[in-house]
Amino acid sequence: MTLEILGTNKNTLPKLLLRHTERFQDRRVALREKDRGIWNTYTWSDYYSIVESLAAAFVVMGLKKDEKVAIIGENKPHVYWFELGAQICRAPVVGVFSDCSAEEIKYFLTHSDCRFVVCQDQEQVDKLLEIKDEVPQIRKVIYWEERGLWSYRDPWLLNMEEMMKEGREHVREHPGVIRAMIEETRGDDVAAFFYSSGTTGKPKAAVQTHFNIIAMAHLMDQRYFVSDTDDAVSFLPIAWIGEQLFNVSYSLYKGFTVNFPESQETIQANIREVGPQVLMLSPRLWEEHIRTIRVKMANASWLNRTLFNLALKVGLRAGDAKMKGRTVSPPWYVLSILAEALVFRPLRDRLGLRRIRVARTAGTAVSPDVIRYFHAIGVPLVQLYGSSECGVATMHPKNQVKAETCGVPLDGYNIRISDEGEVLVKSPCLFKEYFKEPKKTAKAIKNGWFHTGDFGHVDDEGHLIVMDRMDDLQRIRGDKLFSPQFAETRLRFSPYIKDALVVGHEDYDYSAAIINIDYDNVAHWAEKNRVVFTTFLDLSQKNEVVRLVRSEIEAINGFLPEWARIERFINLHKEFDADEEELTRTRKVRRDFMEKKYHQLIDALYSEHKRIDVTATVTYRDGTTAELKSSVTINSVTSES
């Protein structure tokens, strides 16, 4: 695949915006946002007009080619507008997670050499003012929500409306200038920086071009066609390449409508209102759906619970057949029609998945049970494998969905496994470089192959199976390799386990786990079963809850080798927290950090102790800290403790 495959008139995101504006104008909605209970719509003409004004304002403010613009905020149309406005100036964008601390933001701004920052509201502005003296290269901070900022007088700050006025004036004085700038953009221009999750150190910035991002949308569309009349929902972090690929670039490539929820708290309700045909969720969000369904069913009447369980049995049978492109026998087919009409169609409607046609997950490993569950209820969920460096490398083909795999390579991609078991990827969409990291770039790409750092293998049908990160593989009883992630993904399938850290020990022939209970679901279960509790800590240590978690661990132990089964566990006194660096901003466990932080608990899991006192330092989002003292029990899986 070469740069010419997309055509010179659609090889950059701004050119695609111009193309769809000329194609649809005011006849088709490009973006839709819910604000204060009302869905506001923006046609393609509206979209272009706003972007044109912002691009012109950036020109007036002196934004030059290859200078960077950081964007910090929740998913709103403004993020798309500012991104394209900067890219028209041939300036790459740097997405920053909205829940980052001021210190984290400083790292991203400094490392990427940003010159402008776009942010959403007072919370982000306050973080930036806190580090103002430490980021002297930033010329302006632009914000789009005025609430709480009316009294701010710092000339460093600029309101979006004021910026738009300057831009509109420049367009009036120089008609056609922005369109000419769009025509000058090139497919090999840098479009965006995507920072790694930082599980093993400081995040690295993978540099991706317009061609790469659009080509990935092109290749995905060849496998699962998306129509320009479809709806999608944008709520995954803008700093993650997944949001860029599946919504920003894909919507510009195909011309479908992107919908923006009112807030993080209303996402589920807004998804139900939209009823999207296309949806991309992280594994944790799909898992959350299943936890919700299972808890609601546990609390349903005997009749409804029995009906659902029978329907699910039928759905699993029919779903497994559909995943492989087969038809079920006539009796099961009739039963599947009844299950669909009585149970699954109403259920999908409640979840906002009634019209779903293309459902995807990526970002980290997902349990095969999750894939099978959604196919059973009529949601054609497929798993993808990729990264910020190589984009989307594999995806399940239609009628060839193998729940335990990540699918087969997209056209133009090649996958092979090194002698050490590392997954290697070659494609025309590999990232350009790690910004300011030539040695790490050379280490990552050798002879045209990207070394992913993931451990896996390819089965007889060409499907990629990814087990874990190479660095995260652990040894049990000497030379036996063990994948903690394999166990963790299956634990998270439980409605009562939100997260887990599974560890092995080279001197013992079993694994152990630190468990995060799902507070909402376990609390609901406790109330139903008349278990009295006060706090998260109190609930997690109740004997009844310990027995509940034990039964869930016993269920997944059957999937593990006998020598790697979980024998001991602790219900942690708190949730894993990204603000305490336990999770990355994409909610992946920072394993090395966690094993150091909780080394006392891990040591106790491989000892004769029955209880251990814990003192934990909690870091809040405003930077303040507090000490939390507690005592947790060390529990055995194989016997009552």
pLDDT tens column, 481-491: 888 988 999 99
- Is 546 within 8 Å of 496 (Cβ atoms)? no
Segment 211-231, tens digit of pLDDT? 999 999 999 999 999 999 999
Helix (H, G, I), strand (E, B) or coil at 44: helix
Q: How many CA atoms lie within 13 A of 219 on its CB side?
A: 26
Model confidence, pTM: 0.87
- Give the pLDDT confidence score for residue 620 in this predicted structure: 55
Residue type, 607: S
Is 184 a residue whose pLDDT tops 50? yes
- Give the pLDDT confidence score for residue 79 in this predicted structure: 96
- Give the pLDDT confidence score for residue 592 in this predicted structure: 84
Query: Quick one: how many helices (H) and strands (E) in the chain?
Result: 23, 30
- Give the pLDDT confidence score for residue 473 in this predicted structure: 86
Mean pLDDT, to the nearest integer, of 94-99? 92
Q: Which domains does the chain have, with CATH numbers?
A: 7-276 (3.40.50.12780), 282-379 (no CATH), 473-636 (3.30.300.30)
Q: Pairing relation of β-strands 157-159 and 140-143?
A: parallel
Segment 138-170, tens digit of pLDDT? 999 999 999 999 999 999 999 999 999 999 999
**Which run of H or E residues covers position 638?**
none
Segment 325-367, tens digit of pLDDT? 999 999 999 999 999 999 999 999 999 999 999 999 988 888 8
**Residue 197 in tokens:** 């999750």
CA angle (366, 367, 368) in 5-degree steps? 115
**Residue 156 in tokens:** 């460093």
Q: Give the closest residue to 220 by CA, choosing from 194, 251, 191.
A: 251
**Residue 355 in tokens:** 């019209």
Exposure b/e, 481-520, CB count within 10 A at least 16 = b: ebbbbbbbbbbbbbbbbbbbbbbbbeeebbbbbbbbbbbe
Contacts of 252 (CB under 8 A, 6+ apart): 13, 16, 17, 20, 214
Distance CA 257, CA 270 (A): 14
Q: Sign of the CA dihedral 441, 443, 445, 448?
A: positive
Contacts of 406 (CB under 8 A, 6+ apart): 383, 384, 385, 394, 395, 396, 463, 464, 465, 466
**Residue 284 in tokens:** 């944790």
Dihedral (C-alpha) 221, 223, 225, 230: value to the nearest 10 degrees? -70
- Is 77 within 8 Å of 260 (Cβ atoms)? yes
Give the residues across from 192 on adjacent strands. Answer: 93, 208
Residue type, 66: D
Distance CA 185, CA 624 (A): 45
Exposure b/e, 178-192, CB count within 10 A at least 16 = b: beebbeebebebbbb
Q: What is the mean pLDDT of the chain?
A: 91
**Residue 32 in tokens:** 């839709």
Rg (C-alpha) for the chain, rounded Å, is 25
Distance CA 236, CA 250 (A): 14
Distance CA 224, CA 524 (A): 39
- Give the pLDDT confidence score for residue 549 in this predicted structure: 96
Residue with tokens 């300036």: 91
- Give the pLDDT confidence score for residue 2 in this predicted structure: 46
**Residue 71 in tokens:** 């964007």
Residue type, 617: T
Q: Give the closest residue to 431 by CA, choosing from 229, 630, 212, 583.
A: 212
- Give the pLDDT confidence score for residue 622 in this predicted structure: 60
Distance CA 232, CA 463 (A): 28
Percent of the chain as helix, strand, coil, to the nearest 5: 40, 25, 35
pLDDT confidence bin for 41, thresholds 50/70/90: very high
